């Protein structure tokens, strides 16, 4: 019986170590997935914004398509640098996930970005 208790005790210690490692792996995996989805959102959002701007000035014949694309490319890049991130900071202040545990906070962020893409 002594050997069974020792085996059970060591199994419990090993199991808790495995669960602890998987928990860290799950948080890391969820963080990486969230970052990838955010990058996809940035790409799709910029893609839609640029096409709307190019279509507007091209349809009104104010600029040629090449001039419009060059102008949009320059100002889409310079916009956050010169204009700042005041709007993003305001929107980001609506929901505070800093007090939540890691997995629920990452899940909330991931779900909101997937909703924005959809």
Q: Residue 100's pLDDT is what?
A: 85
State the first-to-last Cα distance of the chain, in angstroms, to the nearest integer.
59
DSSP line for 39-102: HHHHHHHHHHHHHHHHHHHHHTTSS-HHHHHHHHHHHHHHHHHHH-SHHHHHHHTSS--TTS-H
* Integer Cα distance of 35 and 24 in angstroms: 17
In a domain, 1, yes or no: no
User: Is residue 77 assigned to a domain?
Assistant: yes
pLDDT on residue 23:
59
Considering the entire predicted model, what is its pTM?
0.58
Domain that holds residue 104: 31-117
- How far CA 62 is from CA of 58, 72, 76, in Å, comes to 6, 13, 19
**pLDDT computed for residue 66 by the predictor:** 93
Q: Which residues of the chain have pLDDT under 70?
A: 1-24
Q: Is residue 55 part of a domain?
A: yes
pLDDT score for 4: 47
What pLDDT was estimated at residue 3? 47
Whether 48 maps to a domain, the answer reads: yes
Q: How far apart are CA 111 and CA 79, in angstroms?
A: 27
Residue 21 lies in a domain: no
Give the pLDDT score at 13. 53
Question: Could you tell me if residue 4 is inside a domain?
Answer: no
Q: How many domains does the chain have?
A: 1
């Amino acid at each position: 019986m002594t050997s069974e208790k020792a085996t059970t005790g060591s199994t419990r210690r090993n199991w808790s170590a495995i669960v602890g490692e998987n928990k860290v792996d799950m948080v890391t995996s969820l963080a990486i997935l969230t970052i990838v989805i955010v990058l996809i959102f940035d790409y799709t959002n910029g893609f839609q914004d640029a096409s709307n701007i190019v279509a507007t000035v091209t349809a009104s014949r104010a600029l040629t398509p090449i001039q419009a694309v060059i102008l949009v490319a320059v100002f889409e890049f310079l916009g956050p640098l010169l204009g700042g991130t005041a709007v993003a900071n305001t929107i980001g202040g609506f929901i505070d996930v800093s007090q939540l545990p890691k997995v629920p906070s990452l899940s909330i962020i991931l779900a909101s970005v997937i909703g924005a893409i959809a």
